[in-house]
Amino acid sequence: MEAIKVNGIVKDYGEVKALKGISFDVKQAEMFGLVGPDGAGKTTTIRVLCGLLLPSAGSAELFDFDLVKDKIKIQKQIGYLSQKFSLYGDLTIDENIEFFADLHGVRDFQNRRNELLEFTRLTPFRNRLADNLSGGMKQKLALACTLIHKPKIIFLDEPTTGVDPVSRRDFWKILSNLQKDGVTIFMSTPYLDEAERCNRVALLNDGQVLSFDTPQNIKASIKKMIVEVVCSPIIQAYNVIKEKSSFEVQMFGDRLNVAMENYNKDLATIEKLFSENGIQLIDSRTIPTSLENVFIHLIGEVKSQTN
């Protein structure tokens, strides 16, 4: 069963078109990732689906309720964790959760609050002011407040941005347990390694869905092998491949990723190109295709089609 169905959603801000007719669906109890860089339209998508913004065109349903006509019914079944920490710094952890329980009309919330504090491992800090929490603890508190009314879907807008690696790992464990309990998780992230954890993802750029499938299927969509090339000088090598060949190349730190169809034949072409331009080829090897490889590849395809 689909928890969310999005059909051709458009969102305009005057002359700026933030969403350009996006479509996808999210299954019940699925962890779904909306992946893209800053400005891609991730936050706008979430705010539209939460009923905080009206779409300019298109439609969407959450649990078969129409996004516009049944807005109140939908909002009772969802939780939203915004990109910025929006709780009350001068209230304790307990007081923040109590406030959100009152906001959602949750009576006798004490047991539920205790469960959430144990779940997020915040019990020892329940009397601490929110302003005095670390970044990771603030995100856990925000999640606890989001879950106080037992939503069926939770929307998380870049929940691990600025969070330390240990807290990020803990946060993912919490999300995994929520999913096991049947909660549908819709999260946006700029981190492609995090997207690998999702059941399915939509790659979003410039208000358009470039690809929508499981991470495995999206990676398999590139029919070329990715070859990691170690060479020197790296920037010159990147520019030479970019300007003097038809190979698709991406730079990652001190290495290049080059998309090839035939390893031996294409590598020989690269070697010849390097030799002619005074570049040393130090090492090369095939590596598994990453979502980042696919994302950059798809952006390049879109650009070539529009030019």
Going by pLDDT thresholds of 50, 70 and 90, the confidence category of residue 162 is confident
Using one digit for the tens of pLDDT, what is the confidence trace for 287-296?
999 998 999 8
In this prediction, residues 149-169 reach a mean pLDDT of 87
Cβ 181 vs Cβ 159: under 8 Å: no
Using one digit for the tens of pLDDT, what is the confidence trace for 36-53?
999 999 999 999 999 999
Considering only residues 154 and 167, tell me which one the structure prediction assigns the higher pLDDT.
Answer: 154
Cβ 67 vs Cβ 51: under 8 Å: yes
Judged by DSSP in three states, 203 sits in strand
pLDDT, residue 296, reads 87
Return residue ranges of the chain for CATH 3.30.70.270. 223-288
Is the bond preceding 159 in cis, omega lying within 30 degrees of 0?
A: no
Using one digit for the tens of pLDDT, what is the confidence trace for 179-207?
999 999 999 998 888 899 999 999 999 99
For residue 135, is pLDDT > 90?
no
Using one digit for the tens of pLDDT, what is the confidence trace for 95-124?
999 999 998 889 889 999 999 999 889 999
Going by pLDDT thresholds of 50, 70 and 90, the confidence category of residue 87 is confident
Q: Which amino acid is at 296?
A: I
pTM of the model: 0.87
Return residue ranges of the chain for CATH 3.40.50.300. 2-214
Q: Which amino acid is at 122?
A: L
pLDDT, residue 247, reads 94
Using one digit for the tens of pLDDT, what is the confidence trace for 200-236?
999 999 999 999 999 999 999 988 999 999 999 999 9
pLDDT, residue 42, reads 96
Going by pLDDT thresholds of 50, 70 and 90, the confidence category of residue 168 is confident
For residue 167, is pLDDT > 90?
no
Alpha helices in the chain (DSSP H): 42-49, 71-75, 93-103, 110-119, 135-147, 165-180, 192-195, 215-220, 234-244, 263-276, 291-306
Angle (CA) 199 205 206, round 5° = 150
Task: For domain 223-288, say whether CATH 3.40.50.10380 is its number.
Answer: no
Percentages (nearest 5) of helix, strand, coil residues in the chain: 40, 30, 30
Angle (CA) 279 282 287, round 5° = 115
Contacts of 18 (CB under 8 A, 6+ apart): 11, 12, 41, 44, 207
Distance CA 193, CA 189 (A): 10
Rg (CA), the chain: 23
pLDDT, residue 214, reads 97
Strand-by-strand arrangement of the 208-213 sheet? 78-81, 153-157, 184-189, 31-35, 200-205, 208-213
Mean of the per-residue pLDDT values of the chain? 92
pLDDT, residue 164, reads 79
Q: Which two tokens stand for residue 83?
A: 């990109």
Q: Which of 227, 224, 225 is nearest to 283 (CA)?
A: 227
pLDDT, residue 307, reads 60
In this prediction, residues 243-267 reach a mean pLDDT of 94
Judged by DSSP in three states, 215 sits in helix
Q: Are strands 255-260 and 248-252 parallel, antiparallel or unpaired?
A: antiparallel
Superfamily of domain 2-214: P-loop containing nucleotide triphosphate hydrolases (3.40.50.300)
Q: Which two tokens stand for residue 152?
A: 């069926």
Q: Which of 8, 3, 4 is nearest to 207 (CA)?
A: 8
